Amino acid sequence: MTAARADAEYTAPVEDYLKVIYDIERHAGAAGTNDIAQRLAIAPASVSGMVRRLADQGLLEHERYRGVRLTDMGRRVALRTIRRHRVIEAYLTLALGYPWDLVHDEAERLEHAASDELIDRMAAAIGEPSTDPHGAPIPTREGEIEERALHSLADLAPGERGRVVRVSDDDAERLRYLAELGLVPGTEVLLLSRAPYGGPLALLVGAGPNADESVAGAGERMVGPALAAAVLVEREA
Amino acid sequence: MTAARADAEYTAPVEDYLKVIYDIERHAGAAGTNDIAQRLAIAPASVSGMVRRLADQGLLEHERYRGVRLTDMGRRVALRTIRRHRVIEAYLTLALGYPWDLVHDEAERLEHAASDELIDRMAAAIGEPSTDPHGAPIPTREGEIEERALHSLADLAPGERGRVVRVSDDDAERLRYLAELGLVPGTEVLLLSRAPYGGPLALLVGAGPNADESVAGAGERMVGPALAAAVLVEREA
DNA sequence: GTCAATATTTAGTCTGCACTAAATTGATGT
DNA sequence: ACATCAATTTAGTGCAGACTAAATATTGAC
C-alpha cells in the first residue's frame, strides 16, 4: 500500500511487462495472461506471479481470470518506457545512420538503461520528432501520446487510396522487406484488388517523402494479408 | 570447462566485476576479495560466490586466500566493457553536450546495454578519439589499450612542471571541483610547494587546450593530497 | 612460535524472475 | 445441465546475485 512514485526505478522485466500490457490494453481493453506471455515469449505461468507483484506495487489492477488493467501510475511508467524506446529509435536512425530494421532491438535494451536526461538530449538533438522511424507516435515528457485510430492496409476497399502512416517494427526481416516494397511511412498506396479467401492484395505504391530510404520506386506490388496487416494507413479521398 | 567465447553475453554484474578486477590487477598485481567488494560497494562475502562462478566460466583464476587474476578471455571481456564505457563517455560529451561530471554514471548503465555495432558507430561519429573526456585511454575494437605509467600530481617535486593527462572520474562532485580549478586533461601545472605532514600543495595552473571547459583561468591553487592523487600527470622538462 | 588482527570463505537466507507439472476456473456447445 | 476445452492459477523448483553471521586461514607483532 505504499504510494510509490512513477519516477522510481523499475527493473527491465517490469518495464517490459508494462509496455506490453499497455499495448494489449489499447487494442483489447484488458490484457490476458496468455497474451502477455506470448508477447514476452515466456510461459503463461510466469506471468501470474509477476502480475501479482505489479499489482502489489500499484502499477496495475488484476481481476482473477479476467485480465489486467494498468493504473494511472502503471500507464505513466509504460509511456515513459515507450518514449525512451521511440526516441532512441529515432535518434539512432537520424543521428547515427542506423538502418531502420536494427533500431528496434537496440532500443529494446537501451530503453532500460538511459536516463530521462539522456532521452531529452537525444530528442532535442534531432528536433523533437513526433514519431519514431516506423511511424509510431512518441509520447511527450509529460506522458501525453497522440494515438490515432488507424486502419490496416488490409482494410482498404479495392480502389481506395491511403497513405502509410506506421508499420509494425518487431520483426527486422519484415521491416527490410517492407522497405524493399517501398511500404514505409509517408508512401501513398492505392489498393487495386484483393483476392478472396485470404489471397494476396494488389497495390500501387507511389513514392513517398522517404523515397531515398526505399530501394524500389513506385510500382505494382502483391502482398499477402499477414504482411498487409502490419502496415497501417490513413484513408485518403 | 566449456571453452566459452569472449563475445558471448554476460550479465551486468559480471561485466562490472571484470572491469574492477582488471583495474585493481593493473595497480596491485592481483585483486583481493576485499578490494573487489569495496570497489563494487558490496559485502566481501558476496564476492567469494561470484568469483567461483567467474572462475568456472574461465574468466579468471583464483588462488584461495591469495586473490584473483583475469584469464585472457576475462581480460578481453573487461576491455570490451571498458571500451564501451569510454566511447559512451566521449560520445555523450562531444555529440550531446553532456557535462563531464555526469557522463560516468550514464555510461555505467549504458555500457551493459549497447551493442558493439552501436559503440563503433558512436566512435566513428566523433572521430575515433583515443581517450575519454577524463583522459582515460579507449581500448580498440580488438582489445588493445595504451596504458602509460603516469604519476599523480602528488608525486611531482616542488618546482617540477607537468601536464594533466587524466583524472579519476568516479566522483562527480570531485570532477566538478577539478574543472573549477582548471585541472582538466591538457592543462599545464607547476608544483610550487608542498606542505609537510600531508599538507596542501601549492600549484600554478596554466591554460590548457580545453580551457573553454574550465571555469577558472590560469592562476595559483591550493589542493589537498587526496585531491592531488586523483590527478595524473606526465612530467615535463 | 604464539596470538591477535585482518582477510577470506562457508553456511544459510532472501528476492526477482523464470520454469514445469498439476489443479482450478470460466466459457461453450449440445 | 453438463461435459469439455482453453485460460489461468498454484505448487514446487532453479539460478543469479545479493545479504548476515560464523568459521577459518594468513599475516604481523612480539
User: What is the distance in angstroms measured between the alpha-carbon CA of B43 and the sugar C1' of C13?
Assistant: 15
- Find the closest chain B residue to A114 by CA distance: B110
What is the predicted pLDDT for the residue at B210? 53
Q: Which of B49, B11, B55 is nearest to B33 (CA)?
A: B49
What is the predicted pLDDT for the residue at A209? 56
What is the predicted pLDDT for the residue at B1? 42
Taking the alpha carbons at both ends of chain B, their separation in whole angstroms is 53
The pLDDT tens digits for B184-195 are 998 988 888 888
Where does the pLDDT of residue A73 fall: very low under 50, low under 70, confident under 90, or very high at 90 and above? very high
A115, A120, A122, A126, best to mutate vs chain B, most B CBs in 10 Å: A115
Does any strand D atom come closer than 7 Å to the Cβ of B65?
Answer: yes
Q: What positions of strand D are covered by protein, i.e. any atom < 7 Å from a CB?
A: 7-12, 16-22, 25-27
Buried/exposed code over A205-237 (b: 16+ C-beta within 10 A; e: otherwise): bbbbebeebbeeebeebebebebbebbbbeeee
What sign does the dihedral A126-A132-A133-A135 (CA atoms) show?
negative
The pLDDT tens digits for B79-91 are 999 999 999 999 9
Question: Based on C-alpha coordinates, what's the Rg of chain B?
Answer: 19
- The pTM score is 0.88
A234 contacts A165 by C-beta, under 8 angstroms:
yes
Asked if the model's pLDDT at residue B212 lies above 60, the reply is no
Average model confidence (pLDDT) for chain A?
90
Packing angle, helices A72-96 and A103-110, rounded to 10: 130
Q: Is A173 helix (H, G, I), strand (E, B) or coil?
A: helix
Closest CB from A113, A115, A122 relative to B113: A113
Mean pLDDT on B24-44: 93
User: What is the distance in angstroms measured between the alpha-carbon CA of A17 and the sugar C1' of D7?
Assistant: 19
Residues contacting residue A66 through CB under 8 Å, at least 6 positions apart:
A30
Average model confidence (pLDDT) for chain B?
89
Q: Is B114 helix (H, G, I), strand (E, B) or coil?
A: coil
Q: Which of A59, A91, A103, A57 is nearest to A78 (CA)?
A: A59
Closest CB from A92, A95, A113 relative to B110: A113
Closest CB from A92, A112, A121 relative to B96: A121
SS3 content of chain B, % helix, strand, coil (to 5): 40, 20, 40
Q: Compute the distance between CA of residue A95 and CA of residue A157 in angstroms, rounded to an integer.
A: 38
Chain A residues touching residue B96 (CB < 8 angstroms):
118, 121-122, 125
User: What is the distance in angstroms measured between the alpha-carbon CA of B170 and the sugar C1' of D29?
Assistant: 37
What is the predicted pLDDT for the residue at B2? 42
Q: Which residue has the cell 617535486?
A: B157
B205 contacts B183 by C-beta, under 8 angstroms:
yes
